[in-house]
Amino acid sequence: MSEYQTKNLMKKINYKNFPDKNGYFAEFGGKFVSETLMHPLNELLKSYNKIAKSTNFRNELKKELSQFVGRPTPIYHASRISKELGNCNIFLKREDLNHTGAHKINNAMGQAMLAKSMGKKRIIAETGAGQHGVATATACARYDLKCVIYMGSKDIQRQKINVYRMKLLGAEVISVDSGSKTLKDALNEALRDWVTNVDDTHYIIGSVAGPHPYPMIVRDFQSVIGHECKKQMKTLFNKKPNILVACVGGGSNAIGMFHPFLNEDVDMIGVEAAGLGLNTGKHAAPLNKGKPGILHGNRTYIMEDDNGQIESTHSISAGLDYPGVGPEHSWLKNNNRVKYVSVTDKEALKAFHYLTEKEGIIPALETAHALAYAFKIAKKLNKKNILINLSGRGDKDIDTVALLNRIQV
Amino acid sequence: MNRIKSLFQKKRNDGKSVFITYLVCGDPDIKTTYNLMNIMVEAGVDIIELGMPFTDPIADGPTIQKGVERSLTKKTSLKDIFDVVKKFRKKNLHTPIVLMGYMNPIEKIGYEKFSLLSKNCGADGILIVDSPPEESKKINKILKNKDLCQIFLASPTTEQSRLKKIINSTSGYLYYVSIKGITGSKINNYKTIENRVNQIRIMSKNKIPITVGFGIKDKKTAKAISKFSDGIIIGSSVVELIEKNIHNKPIMFKNMKNYLKNIYKGMQNR
């Protein structure tokens, strides 16, 4: 067995049976929200359970994903870097080729259709890198829903292009100036909006975070990634992946790829953002450095100080710049089912350039974290099939990268 | 007997409504909080809800958020909060204190330790905004053992079935959130609030006092709401007054006293 062997063969857990009816993955998850949100969350769960069973809904979603989003996304065998890095086969699940350029649209479409079926007229969402905001604004344009996006003022600065895209799509982008002015504060503000406008508004959370049933709903809509991977690896390459690698901020692209494989003989690695380094305090790696606590409606690993106040985070990528993580990841960590590692800003940036130059694919900076770790292990392993979730494209990050390289675009 | 329970009993016998105020502990500093607590009592306040600051107050509007941020720049900790209550208790043994905040700092220190320290400093009740009865089973038992009331919220969106659960779980009083929204929002319609309060009263067989908070800013509203409730809670307006006079403490104290006295008067001839 390799040192990357993360599956726990001793424990026979059927991962498909979680969360339980109270929204828990063992001790993680739950519904830590103010009273006003309990009712809308219960309503959401009821509506979701109904549509999840409906053949009509599933067929409709499948059609939308195929004709509007462009699924299935291909798996690409990155033969040049596979050869250069050693003796492994590196495969890329091309979520960057989705409409709007990232995996976020899978969930946005599903939830927009769910909102429509619930009779909601208005959609709100939080966004960090802007990818979820763009995906939500796109789905809202498609379904004629009013759209309001909350975004930290710091993120607005570093993701200007996505802000403009959202506006073009008809969304109102509200700048959030409280707290650390990033994703976590945008989420706070979206929750406040939802409490105030519960009657006509659906909140599309963009990650597998938040109170139950969100971590489950978002995971289910993202699981299309893993289901496709299973089929494609077999039909296109006649291979089974040995190791899955994905980056983890809130963790939706990772859980989407991992979940269909959890009960199978596959190793999995989630890569967090180590920022300037795990020991500098300037990172966004709660699974590596945090402790279980409560944030944004669920119990999960978080970054906090000795008084239980949430700490501010740092990552080169806005999409990973979050002090919490989806509760299911916390559970998978404690079960030793998935191994969670981290990659620094520098390493991610290096991987960003490497993939761009060697394979002609510009990855998102978030995704570059998964790539950096996968490249590292590819050098050490022999004849393994490493499947990486190429969760998004890097066009949105061009300004950030240029700035870091001291280049004026 | 717990101070909260005996207070409501007495007020009910006198036919009076209970006056509750909220302030963020440590906003803008602990010393001011201590002074304001005493001023509140002098102005006629019956119960003080002392906010335990948390970085991510998802149920609070901009006014209280800013108060929380002011407190956190001074690094106000749970220890500071217990200390100020202890100091307050040296001179005041009758005014109930409710510690109000979010779950994470409480989880961090641990339920047992939090309950013990709350009891020891002289607090009487706990309100955890983001922990409904479903998530509070464990801490509720521990608080009960220490004779601390755990106060739960009900809101306009609460379903019948959950309302029963909340009535059964809450102790001391039930905090009815008057509107869908965050702290600092506006009340538009007294009648719907009154209907809802009456409905809860019937459901609870009048066994648990029902207080109303969110959106009460002035004498007129306070008066109208105290007519059909067992108590009113004022939070955002208090925090706003602190913010407005942050650089002049004597004026802050004077204005606070006048503001609260005026509201107290309105509640007396209900």
- Same-domain check for residues A285 and A184: no
Chain B residue whose CA is closest to A308: B105
Which residue in B has a C-alpha nearest to residue A306's C-alpha?
B108
Q: Which whole number is the average pLDDT over B51-79?
A: 96
Integer Cα distance of B6 and B4 in angstroms: 6
A360-407 pLDDT per residue, tens: 999 999 999 999 999 999 999 999 999 999 999 999 999 899 999 888
Is A103's pLDDT higher than 60? yes
Per DSSP, A262 falls in state: T
Position A399 in a domain = yes
Averaged pLDDT score across all residues of chain B: 96
> Cβ–Cβ of B180/A309 closer than 8 Å?
no
**Mean pLDDT of all residues in A302-310:** 98
- State how far the Cα of A96 lies from the Cα of A111, in Å rounded to an integer: 20
- Residues A257 and A323 grouped into a single domain: yes
Cα(B187)–Cα(A289) distance, integer angstroms: 44
Return the SS3 of B235: coil
Architecture per CATH, B3-268: Alpha-Beta Barrel (3.20)
Dihedral through CA B244, CA B246, CA B251, CA B257, nearest 10?
70
When pLDDT is cut at 50, 70 and 90, the band that residue B270 belongs to is low
> Is residue A4 predicted with pLDDT exceeding 70?
no
By percentage, how much of chain B surpasses pLDDT 70? 99
Kindly state whether residue A11 falls inside one of the protein's structural domains: no
Please tell me the distance from the alpha carbon of residue B95 to that of residue B88, in angstroms, as a whole number.
Answer: 10
Q: Above pLDDT 90, what percent of chain A?
A: 91
User: What average pLDDT does the segment B129-135 reach?
Assistant: 98
Pair B131, B123: CB distance under 8 Å: no
The answer to whether A117 and A185 have CB atoms below 8 angstroms apart is no
Same domain, A198 and A339: no
- d(C-alpha B97, C-alpha B76), whole Å: 18
Residue B153 has pLDDT above 70, yes or no: yes
Confidence at residue A10, expressed as pLDDT on a 0 to 100 scale: 45
Same domain, A95 and A126: no
Partner residue opposite A32 with nearest CB, options B65, B135, B162: B135
Question: Does the structure show a pLDDT above 80 at A46?
Answer: yes
Q: Look at B58 and A191 and tell me if their CB atoms are within 8 Å.
A: yes
Instruction: Confirm whether the ipTM is greater than 0.90.
Output: yes
B246 near B236, Cβ under 8 Å? no
- Confidence band, pLDDT 50/70/90 cuts, at residue A1: very low
A387 occurs within a structural domain: yes
Is A320 a domain residue?
A: yes
Question: Please, how many CA atoms are within 13 Å of residue A177, restricted to the half-sphere of its CB?
Answer: 2
Q: Which of A120, A339, A391, A396 is catalytic?
A: A391
Where helices occur in A175-239 by DSSP H, the ranges are: 183-196, 214-222, 224-237
**For position A281, what pLDDT does the model report?**
93
Q: Give the containing element (helix H, strand E) for A210.
A: none
Question: What was the pLDDT predicted at A408?
Answer: 83
My answer on whether A229 and A164 are in the same domain is no
Pairwise CA distance, residues B167 & B144, whole Å: 15
Domain span at A307: 70-101+223-404
Q: What is the mean pLDDT of residues A188-210?
A: 95
Tell me: do A136 and A164 sit in the same domain: yes
φ, ψ for residue B154, nearest 5 deg: -125, 155
Q: Smallest Cβ distance to B58: which of A192, A293, A309?
A: A192
Interface mutation target, options B52, B103, B108, B127, chain A, most CBs of A under 10 Å: B108
Confidence check: pLDDT of A271 > 80: yes
- The answer to whether the Cβ–Cβ distance between B180 and A199 falls below 8 Å is yes
- CATH number of the domain residue A201 falls in: 3.40.50.1100
Q: Do B108 and A36 touch (CB under 8 A)?
A: no
Do A254 and A364 have their domain in common?
Answer: yes
A34 noted as active-site residue: no
pLDDT band at A316 (very low <50, low <70, confident <90, very high): very high
Q: Are residues A59 and A108 in the same domain?
A: yes
Helices (H) and strands (E) in chain A, counts: 16, 14
- Which of A199, A309, A311 would best serve as a mutation to test chain B binding (most B beta carbons within 10 A)? A309
- Closest chain A residue to the Cα of B70, Cα to Cα: A179
In chain A, the percentage of residues whose pLDDT exceeds 70 is 97
Of A219, A252, A287, the one marking the end of a domain is A219
Say yes or no to pLDDT of A2 above 50: no
CA A380: distance to chain centroid? 27
Residue B229, classified by CB atoms within 10 Å of its CB into exposed (0-12), middle (13-18) or buried (19+), is buried
pLDDT value of position A265: 96
How confident is the model at residue A90, as a pLDDT? Answer: 98
Element (H, E) at A131: helix A131-143
Q: Per residue in A11-37, pLDDT tens?
A: 579 999 999 999 999 999 999 999 999
- Residue B50, strand partner residues: B23, B99
* Same domain? A153 vs A197: yes
Which residue does chain B place closest to A42, by CA atoms?
B159
CA distance A314 to A251: 17
Task: State the total domains in chain A.
Answer: 2
Beta-ladder partners of A112? none
Q: Which residues contact B67 (CB under 8 A, 6 or more apart)?
A: B23, B24, B27, B51, B53, B239, B242, B243
For A128, the 3-state DSSP assignment is coil
Please report residues of A whose CB lies closer than 8 A to that of B129.
34
Percent of the residues in chain B that have a pLDDT greater than 90, as a whole number: 94
Tokens in use for A15?
């991962």
Domain layout of chain B by residue ranges: 3-268
